[in-house]
Structure 1
């Protein structure tokens, strides 16, 4: 069966294999695990975008809960320090607001760091199952400096990868597709300047959530992907990566 006709079958298999969920996560593919370390080291460069929607609790009278919303874009560079361990750094710009307290201002510099590890992996061709752990730190700052915060997130995901053999790669429309889902925990700490010139601190309202996404490898070196994080509301992002 030609790969073009097989793509809908792969998508259906992915939907059946991964539960549906009612995310600055930089995704650089790590192909091996702690128990299988034959893969050579590799660099990754990517561009990503993220829309953030989180409820935060203000450190003020009555501790009101309001929405923190932001638009974020960044360039990322990742490196496989070990065949099962990838670390990456990102730099970009963010614009955001605390609902009913501040408004979108202008983009300013943001940066982040990410680490991913494959803890366990088993392959039953043409499917590979991987248990992955990841940690992510990102600092966000708005244009005029009246709003800034950092987020520290950790997650554990089950990854299901559908792939083609080396012999089929030249004829394939895609060489692999990875679907992942798992629990996540996130902490946010930041502050904004109110109309009176006072700084108001805030933190996350909901720490526990979930992460899910899909990565599609068009070739062995080019991938596109998207993910959704759900805590108090859905945040979502997309990316394009080059692996070499």
Structure 2
């Protein structure tokens, strides 16, 4: 395991575009080495670069998207922000939305690209193993980019985030689901939207760090098969 360090930082006229290009170039180099990639945000704008790099190596990806929001607003390439990556990356052909899943969603946005959405009310009625089986049945053997917004957790378990939404899962439920996702071909992942300044008790960073460990297990599962 290598701590690669910080990327995407600078003093630029258009810092967002710089961040996307810089993360793309570093992700491309890391993936070309044969390593898997786990990236920490930052907000949910960061997947652009890593998803584009992973698509170049593995082909069109399935997106497994943990969030309370769909992040599926069209940016037209000029209004990129943390609510646009899911639409843009599917529209440009990096992500196969029909093989992708957005889980624990509890807000409403357009779904022009046709993502499979499992809303929180439905997901929380299912056992973690049952929910995992449903996700696996949609994704199949596609290479997977997993993106984890910490606000997919209920704010009781992750208050330190920018746009919390009540009615989500507990850390136990999330971790149980992740354990049952073994078998998916997860090639890269990220964890985003942790804002410790909103959480003086540091509950959110602890949850995020623990979930990051779970993501490393999923990434490592198929490392010797490539």
Q: TM-score, normalised by structure 2?
A: 0.23
Structure with the bigger percentage of helix? 2
